Amino acid sequence: MNILFVGDITGSAGLEKARQELGRLRRQYKADVVIVNGENAAERNGITEKQFRDLRFAGADVVTLGNHAWANSEIYQFIDQEDAIIRPLNYPEGTAGKGYTIVDLGRVQLAVVNLLGNVYVSTLPSPFTMIDAVLQDLKQQNVRHIIIDFHGEATSEKMAFANYVDGRVSAVLGTHTHVQTADGRILPKGTAYISDVGMTGVVDSVLGVKTELAIQQFMTQIPVRFQHAEGKAQLCGVVVELDDKTGKATAITPLQV
């Protein structure tokens, strides 16, 4: 099984790049499932229903979120009705949406789990304490193929978590920092890992934000209302190859388009 995972869609330029590339990349890499992090698609972060449906039409089977999940209030209008969009699992019981979903491919099932880190990002329950019950539930359903979108700031937290679940999930793929890291690898017990898959958005920017606004905030130390940059965009992500029988990863390939 091949999984195409695309990093944080940032603004209208990132969304357009995803529209242009997802179908082609799916065909090129023979991807069985396409997963996209869409939490920064909207102008003020978050995601609208139209943007979600645009990503689905472009080829995304699952859309994951992160710390900006609730930034656009429109999310409440559709998240409970859609199996193809998930928010971080860490949120308390009763929160709108769900923390994982299962894609049924007939011959095999793939679970996609969304988790939010604690370090510099949130004070939600620890992803370490949240994941075991979910993995036990998936084991009872005989689901061996499990992809985790770990949305977090600290590479140490992401690496520690990946080693905590090594051999119990297929891949731990980092999002949130918007810069693709050079540490993609297969961990000793068969879990694919990368600290961050990177951003899909404007290249000449500061993490997708207009450069002059980011510089202004650093120079004045006064909060600035950020705006997404405009211009040439790139798509960042990874392709993960999984063994159909065991669910363990056999390869992870970073992409920059």
The residue from 68, 145, 151, 176 that is catalytic is 68
Residue 176 falls in the annotated catalytic set = no
Nearest 5°: the CA angle 67, 71, 76 is 105
| Residues assigned a catalytic role | 68
